[in-house]
Structure 1
Amino acid sequence: MDVPRYNLLDVFVVSGHSSAAEEKKGADIRTADGDPWSSPCVSLERQLTALNSLSLNSLPGKEEEEKVVYTVVDCFQQQFGPAVLHLKQQHVISVIGEGVNLCRHGKLSWLQIATKSRVFLFDIFCLGPPAFRNGLRMVLEDKNILKVMHDCRWISDCLFHQYGVLLVNVFDTQVPFRYCVWEQMFQQEKIQLYLDAQENPDTWFLRPLPASLLQVLALKAMYLLLLHSSLMDNLMSDFTAVVHAYLNTSQNESEDHLGSIKPTCMELPKELRQLADDRKLRREKAVKDYRINEDGLLIRPVIELNERIPQKGETHRDDRDYLPPK
């Protein structure tokens, strides 16, 4: 099954109206903390190792390139303000972070945020903490904006302790992604490549970052937003089916039958009572298929995950979600 195209975005590359790194053509890019290449978190030796180990053949979409419009935001003068203004007008966004040892003790390099029509790649390594003080914190803490994330534990830990950002209104796709029939929505290998594209986190600190990797960042954010829509359709399938039947109850009946029905708001129609029957049948089936603990709750089956091989010199195991093999 082919991965569905994301029709809301044009399928050609516009590298964010040209990033500041491209405009400077290799000029020194500095953050509030100084030269990014001298970061105490990622040494020059580790960055060179990441660059040497980078293989474009291992990137997703090499054979059939999937390209997406994205905007690299690495300066405040022209790009940052319009990007934040656009995000503040949204109801649903996807949020992904990339870095090394991503938690309160690690280092955040990129923050990818996608909407229905735009993908923004915020270069936190270059922008530094002012990026959150000047607008991103307002977006991430807005209770009226749903933030779609995949395993929000470590990124929320990083944002709270390093940048004072308290995430609210989060939809985490990790749990429903496991228990929905996701094989019918996406091709497994493609999703795994996009959600876990690079196993060497030092790669994300290369500056300028190769355009192929910027594409990976953008695609991850784009597909996460698309995954949310598919999961919601899957989770709400029972309710939408009953509503559809409820909607057609009267209009498909004959006039003689409707004349014998006395409208009342005190009694639920059979279409809505069916929902309770469906839940009862599922509960009975679950009791047969799974064990129950002493509290009367179903014991979840153990899911085997693909463990990645830690990189040389890495002190923290990336605890993000890896997909089980077919």
Structure 2
Amino acid sequence: MALGNECFGALLGRTVKITLTCGAFQGVLQRVNADRSLVLRAVKNLDTGRSTPGAKMFFGREIVNGKEGEENVDYTVVDCFQQKFGSAVLHLKQQSVVSVVAEGVHLCRHGRLAWLQIATKSQIFLFDIFLLGPRAFKNGLQMVLEDRSILKVMHDCRWISDCLSHQYGVHLSNVFDTQVADVLQFSMATGGFLPHCICTLPECLMQHVAVSSRSAALMKGREQMAWDNPDIWFLRPCPPSLLKTLALKAMYLLQLRSSLMDKLMSDLTALVDDYINAFRNKSGDCLGSTKPTCMELPEELLQLTDLQKLRRKKAMEDYKINENGLLIRPAMKLKEKKDMQKDGSHREVGDYLLTNREPCQTTSYYDPDQFCQGKHENQNHDD
């Protein structure tokens, strides 16, 4: 349950759950300090299952429960073939655009796929591939992913494409890759320069979508947690905080695609506006000498060259250039960075500021055959 800070005082001595940018924790509330920090005892990390003896302090700025900027997201976990799976695939087959995200360990032909998140405008499905296995693709997901009439929005599709092809025989088609689109948009905005690096999904979202810094930190924190302990994606049942992160990525991808499309099409839109006004805002006398069949490039389109020169000049003033002639992108930073540093409870990870976390341990996880044996015994008719 999401709680505001004002509610915690009434819960002294009771077990509470708090969500931080670095994870979700549960413990007995021992003290609420004036600076909005909390002290819990018998703390359990709900993402890793690890318990910590004694008391632990959580700073107010770490807590995201019920705070402004925290996203509410509804999603459906699909972990068995009965009931939810069939209706989910049917819904996806009726779409023209979906977003696709994957989580696992070393996602390529040699890795392990744990989750496949697919979102539409109205629904988000979290397919538990660890439990469903290859049957998930044979029973409908392959048809969706290979359907050329369905646009799949993804971020850096190289790895999951390799994984799907070599492990499941699935060949992706009709993909809009937001990482590629981000580089293309950067090149357009700088008059043809390329950036020195690509962007992660949280970085792209901070750049192109109105995502709160808290939500971006939440996703980045989960990414770092999974990097430190990859097997966390195979923990069953999966902690709700991780499931929410999976859903947020899929939801935001659709928004990211729309934003990038608007930016990529901005020059076209501007030039078409000039075309609209090319003749109608001029004196009628000039139209008499205009040849309707003339195929010379109009002045409205020639301005593209001048526009690119101006952008290139500005880019050379605004960016540093590395030895390869690529523009060095500035690091993305969260708005709350300075405030977070004051309480000394945070450290930097990559370009994002994240909270200190407990040392990660190897997560034990269930064998999918044992876990779903009872559930799958009567599902042969779904094959």
- TM-score, with normalisation over the residues of structure 2? 0.58
Letter in 2 for 1:168: S
Partner in structure 1 of residue 370 of structure 2: none
Whole-angstrom CA distance in 2 between matches of 1:71 and 1:196: 23
Post-superposition offset of 1:269: 2.1
RMSD across aligned C-alpha pairs, in angstroms? 3.8
Post-superposition offset of 1:113: 0.7
SS in 2 for 1:147: strand
Whole-angstrom CA distance in 1 between matches of 2:125 and 2:270: 36
Deviations 1:76-134 (A, max 9, x none): 23222232232223232211111233333332221101122221111112211101111
Cα 1:279–1:190, aligned 2, differ >3 Å: closer, same or farther? Answer: same
2:306 aligned with 1:277, yes or no? yes
Whole-angstrom CA distance in 2 between matches of 1:251 and 1:61: 57
Whole-angstrom CA distance in 2 between matches of 1:183 and 1:292: 22
Cα 1:130–1:225, aligned 2, differ >3 Å: closer, same or farther? Answer: same
Partner in structure 2 of residue 193 of structure 1: 218
SS in 1 for 2:256: helix
Deviations 1:44-74 (A, max 9, x none): xxx9982227999978665234212322222
Partner in structure 2 of residue 306 of structure 1: 350
2:109 aligned with 1:80, yes or no? no
Aligned pairs, number? 265
2:130 aligned with 1:125, yes or no? yes
Note the residue ranges of structure 1 that are not aligned, 5 or more in a row.
Answer: 1-46, 315-326
Whole-angstrom CA distance in 2 between matches of 1:225 and 1:60: 24
Partner in structure 2 of residue 150 of structure 1: 155
Whole-angstrom CA distance in 2 between matches of 1:195 and 1:175: 20
Whole-angstrom CA distance in 2 between matches of 1:211 and 1:244: 48
- Does structure 1 retain, via aligned residues, the 8 Å contact 2:208–2:260? no
Partner in structure 1 of residue 74 of structure 2: 69
Whole-angstrom CA distance in 2 between matches of 1:72 and 1:215: 11
Partner in structure 2 of residue 114 of structure 1: 119
Higher strand residue share: 2
Letter in 1 for 2:299: K
Post-superposition offset of 1:273: 1.8
Note the residue ranges of structure 2 that are not aligned, 5 or more in a row.
Answer: 1-44, 190-203, 332-348, 364-383
SS in 2 for 1:132: helix
The one of 44, 52, 56 equivalent to 2:50 is: 52
- TM-score, with normalisation over the residues of structure 1? 0.66
Cα 1:299–1:227, aligned 2, differ >3 Å: closer, same or farther? Answer: same
Whole-angstrom CA distance in 1 between matches of 2:292 and 2:146: 45
Cα 1:171–1:311, aligned 2, differ >3 Å: closer, same or farther? Answer: farther
Partner in structure 1 of residue 193 of structure 2: none
* Structure possessing the higher radius of gyration over alpha carbons: 2
SS in 1 for 2:48: helix
Letter in 2 for 1:90: Q
- Does structure 2 retain, via aligned residues, the 8 Å contact 1:290–1:298? no
Partner in structure 1 of residue 275 of structure 2: 246
Deviations 1:7-60 (A, max 9, x none): xxxxxxxxxxxxxxxxxxxxxxxxxxxxxxxxxxxxxxxx99822279999786
